[in-house]
Amino acid sequence: MKELIVLIAKSLVDSPEEVSVEEIPQADSVVFRLTVSKEDRGKVIGKQGRVIKAIRTLVLANSKSTPKRILIEVN
Protein backbone atom coordinates (compact mmCIF):
# COMPACT_ATOMS: atom_id res chain seq x y z
CA MET A 1 0.00 0.00 0.00
CA LYS A 2 2.68 2.43 1.06
CA GLU A 3 4.59 2.05 -2.22
CA LEU A 4 1.43 2.68 -4.24
CA ILE A 5 0.71 5.91 -2.37
CA VAL A 6 4.30 7.10 -2.83
CA LEU A 7 4.24 6.26 -6.55
CA ILE A 8 1.01 8.15 -7.17
CA ALA A 9 2.01 11.16 -5.06
CA LYS A 10 5.44 11.47 -6.69
CA SER A 11 3.85 11.53 -10.12
CA LEU A 12 1.59 14.45 -9.11
CA VAL A 13 3.98 16.86 -7.37
CA ASP A 14 6.76 19.19 -8.50
CA SER A 15 9.10 18.11 -5.67
CA PRO A 16 9.00 14.29 -5.63
CA GLU A 17 12.01 14.09 -3.32
CA GLU A 18 9.91 15.59 -0.51
CA VAL A 19 7.19 12.92 -0.68
CA SER A 20 7.08 10.51 2.23
CA VAL A 21 4.49 8.16 3.66
CA GLU A 22 4.40 7.02 7.28
CA GLU A 23 2.45 3.87 8.14
CA ILE A 24 0.74 3.97 11.54
CA PRO A 25 -0.89 0.66 12.52
CA GLN A 26 -3.80 0.83 14.93
CA ALA A 27 -6.11 -1.76 16.46
CA ASP A 28 -8.73 -1.89 13.70
CA SER A 29 -7.17 0.28 10.99
CA VAL A 30 -3.98 1.41 9.31
CA VAL A 31 -3.30 5.12 8.84
CA PHE A 32 -1.00 6.27 6.06
CA ARG A 33 0.25 9.82 6.65
CA LEU A 34 1.28 11.37 3.34
CA THR A 35 3.69 14.29 3.64
CA VAL A 36 4.46 16.58 0.70
CA SER A 37 5.95 20.06 0.39
CA LYS A 38 3.72 22.98 1.25
CA GLU A 39 3.56 24.10 -2.38
CA ASP A 40 2.44 20.64 -3.58
CA ARG A 41 -0.29 20.10 -1.02
CA GLY A 42 -2.97 21.52 -3.31
CA LYS A 43 -1.94 19.22 -6.16
CA VAL A 44 -2.32 16.15 -3.99
CA ILE A 45 -5.67 17.24 -2.57
CA GLY A 46 -7.10 18.65 -5.81
CA LYS A 47 -10.19 20.75 -6.39
CA GLN A 48 -12.86 19.85 -3.85
CA GLY A 49 -10.66 16.92 -2.76
CA ARG A 50 -11.09 14.97 -5.98
CA VAL A 51 -7.46 13.87 -6.32
CA ILE A 52 -7.10 12.56 -2.76
CA LYS A 53 -10.47 10.81 -3.11
CA ALA A 54 -9.17 9.09 -6.25
CA ILE A 55 -5.98 8.05 -4.45
CA ARG A 56 -8.06 6.66 -1.57
CA THR A 57 -10.25 4.75 -4.03
CA LEU A 58 -7.22 3.17 -5.72
CA VAL A 59 -5.67 2.17 -2.40
CA LEU A 60 -8.95 0.75 -1.10
CA ALA A 61 -9.44 -1.27 -4.29
CA ASN A 62 -5.92 -2.64 -3.87
CA SER A 63 -6.50 -3.53 -0.20
CA LYS A 64 -9.64 -5.67 -0.42
CA SER A 65 -7.78 -8.64 1.06
CA THR A 66 -6.92 -6.67 4.21
CA PRO A 67 -9.57 -6.82 6.97
CA LYS A 68 -8.40 -3.52 8.49
CA ARG A 69 -9.70 -0.08 7.55
CA ILE A 70 -7.29 1.98 5.45
CA LEU A 71 -7.07 5.73 6.10
CA ILE A 72 -4.94 8.28 4.23
CA GLU A 73 -4.09 11.65 5.80
CA VAL A 74 -2.33 14.50 4.00
CA ASN A 75 0.13 16.22 6.30
Q: What is the CA radius of gyration of the chain?
A: 12
CATH homologous superfamily for the domain 2-74: K homology (KH) domain (3.30.300.20)
Residue 69's DSSP bridge partners are 29
Q: How confident is the model at residue 72 (pLDDT cuts 50, 70, 90)?
A: very high
Pair 21, 2: CB distance under 8 Å: yes
**Where along the chain do its domains lie?**
2-74
> What pLDDT is attached to residue 42?
94
User: Mean pLDDT throughout 12-20?
Assistant: 95
pLDDT in tens, 46-57: 999 999 999 999
Pair 9, 51: CB distance under 8 Å: no
